[in-house]
Amino acid sequence: MVSFKELPYLAQIGIVVLLVALLAGGAYLFSLQPLQKANEADALTLKSKRAEIAQLSPYKAKLAELTAQSASLQAQMEAQKKIVPEEKEVPSFITVLASEAAKAGVEVRRYTPKDTATKEYYVEVPFEIDVDGPYYSVLNYFDRVQKLERIVNVSRLGMGAIKGGRTPVKKSYKWAPTETVTASALVTTFYSITKSGPPAPPVKK
């Protein structure tokens, strides 16, 4: 068998070139080819993400508009809660009536809760109240109550002079000299009903 050194010079060069080519091919197959496949996979992922971004890009311009609409609806919902609260808050309602009485310069002597009435979407919560004070102050009080942010109805309003003995108020109070009239009225506020869905069917035994 002829050794490598005994081969012609050109044959030796050819063998060396062939070995280098085989080593380079092996390096490509075992190291560079996996990297190329990974790069191709990354390129496909990038292409897919760009396609998704292109589909979503029309909504980007509308994002500010949708955000503004959402904020507007939220504000409307909060305003609606003030007009017709979701929960029954009798103490806070009485506090509001007392606050308006102080602003108008009158005295609210009695708060008598009456039977509530449940409707389809709301509950009526009525109170009988007795009020006294100067004539125009009493008128101002009921005007302020009817202009509250929340819905309040005033009905069965009766008014009479303290000195004339025709007052609609059944009980006598210690009236000040500046108080000239008394009034009795039914004041009704409303609360919305939060529906949580239809009731579950009864379990058959």
| More confident site: 192 or 195 | 192
Backbone angles phi, psi at 165, to 5 degrees: 75, 10
- What pLDDT score does 34 carry? 67
For residue 26, name the pLDDT band (cuts at 50, 70, 90). low
Angle at 172 between CA 185 and CA 148, to 5 degrees: 30
Average pLDDT over residues 69-76: 56
**E strands of 46-198, at which residues?**
107-113, 117-118, 122-133, 152-161, 181-192
**Which tens digits make up the pLDDT trace of 122-174?**
888 899 999 999 999 999 999 999 888 888 899 999 998 888 767 788 777 88
Instruction: Answer for the pair 128, 112: CB distance below 8 angstroms, yes or no.
Output: yes
**Which tens digits make up the pLDDT trace of 97-124?**
999 999 999 999 999 999 988 888 888 8
CATH topology assigned to domain 90-192: Alpha-Beta Plaits (3.30.70)
Other beta carbons within 10 Å of 168? 15
Rounded-to-integer distance, Cα 111 and Cα 142, Å = 15
- What pLDDT score does 187 carry? 93
Average pLDDT over residues 86-105: 83
On the 0-12 / 13-18 / 19+ scale of CB atoms within 10 A, 144 is middle
- What pLDDT score does 118 carry? 87
In the three-class reduction of DSSP (H, G, I as helix; E, B as strand; rest coil), residue 86 is classed as coil
Instruction: Answer for the pair 190, 80: CB distance below 8 angstroms, yes or no.
Output: no
Backbone angles phi, psi at 124, to 5 degrees: -90, 130
- What pLDDT score does 176 carry? 85
Indicate yes or no: pTM above 0.75: no
Angle at 104 between CA 165 and CA 129, to 5 degrees: 50
pLDDT at 75 over 60: no
Residue ranges covered by each domain of the chain? 9-83, 90-192
Task: Report, in this order, helix, strand and coil percent for the chain, each rounded to 5.
Answer: 50, 20, 30
- What pLDDT score does 150 carry? 84
Cβ within 8 Å of residue 142, ≥6 positions away = 131, 154, 157, 183, 185
β 122-133/181-192 pair status? antiparallel
